[in-house]
Amino acid sequence: MAVICLVIVWVYVQDLHRIQCHVTFYGKSEPLEVVTSAQTVGEALREQGITLKPQDIVVPSDSALLSDGMEIDLGIVERKVKEVKKVVPYDTHTDYTDTMNVGEIIDVDLGKDGLEDQQIESFFLNGQEAFGKVVKSTVLVPAKNAKVIEGTSLRQKLYPLKKRALVKKVITLEATAYYPGPEDTWPYASGTTASGLKAGYGVVAVDPRVIKLKTLLYVEGYGFAIAADKGGAIKGKKIDLCFDTYEQAVQFGRKKVKVYLLR
């Protein structure tokens, strides 16, 4: 009889202990403090009507035994998919050349940003975005990359490019070379061009019907130049490049070149 009484008392004490078990749930909302008679974390969750999805997280696990004052952390994981329009910045390709001085820059092609339609999959933990990734991307407008020519030389020039310039037109001309001295232009070696500028490296002769005098140019393989002169032999798609020495002019010879008209 005494044994039975002890068992009844023990069961009563255990039941009383379970009734007095205080636990706190932490998760998406404010902390929830409850008094429960449940024995495990899973039972306490079901008692509170909390249903977890397979991707959700609970610490300790739902099979863990409850203890008074236990804190239970819930990680509610949500998946969302959204579509957004995203600007795609253009890239800039720079060609460096020693035919132009440091600080001289010519924009050959201006860049333009593109536009993409992106499908983004995001995962949220207790309402806060944990991470996201692009699962699908569709190009709506392709980006147009920019092209720039930038100088690297430190040579002294009669007529440097004073500000950043933009290419407005590209033509191919037959280029020759000359030296504004008696070895090459005698007896016409006055040292002054048709536009009044002093002849020297960076001054070129053109046909004004093709390129207007005083037009700013960039000549591939030669550098920044000013169309400041003309000549009887320079007719049509021809250009005559001035060099600092007779030897340089001879070495250049005659060749086809791309000429960029600047603004």
CB 100 within 8 A of CB 223: yes
pLDDT > 80? residue 17? no
Quote the Cα angle for 6-7-11, to 5°: 120
Distance, CA of 177 to CA of 149 (rounded, Å): 23
Contacts of 18 (CB under 8 A, 6+ apart): 36, 37, 38, 39
CA distances for 199 relative to 8, 156, 186, angstroms = 118, 14, 14
Distance, CA of 90 to CA of 246 (rounded, Å): 44
- For 116, the enclosing helix (H) or strand (E) is strand 114-125
- Return the pLDDT at 28: 74
CB 173 within 8 A of CB 221: no
pLDDT tens for residues 182-201?
655 555 555 678 888 888 99
**Annotation: CATH topology of 79-146:** Resuscitation-promoting factor rpfb fold (2.20.230)
CATH of domain 2-73: 3.10.20
CB 39 within 8 A of CB 65: yes
Question: Which range, 190-194, 241-245, 259-263, has the best average confidence (pLDDT)?
Answer: 259-263
pLDDT tens for residues 112-159?
999 999 999 999 999 888 889 999 999 999 999 999 999 999 988 888
Q: Partners of 175 in the beta sheet?
A: 239, 255
Amino acid identity of residue 96, one-letter, is: Y
- Return the pLDDT at 158: 86
Question: What are the structural domain ranges in the chain?
Answer: 2-73, 79-146, 162-262
Query: Which residue is listed with tokens 């253009």?
Result: 90
Identify the CATH homologous superfamily for domain 162-262. RlpA-like domain (2.40.40.10)
Distance, CA of 148 to CA of 161 (rounded, Å): 15
CB 172 within 8 A of CB 247: no
pLDDT > 60? residue 8? no
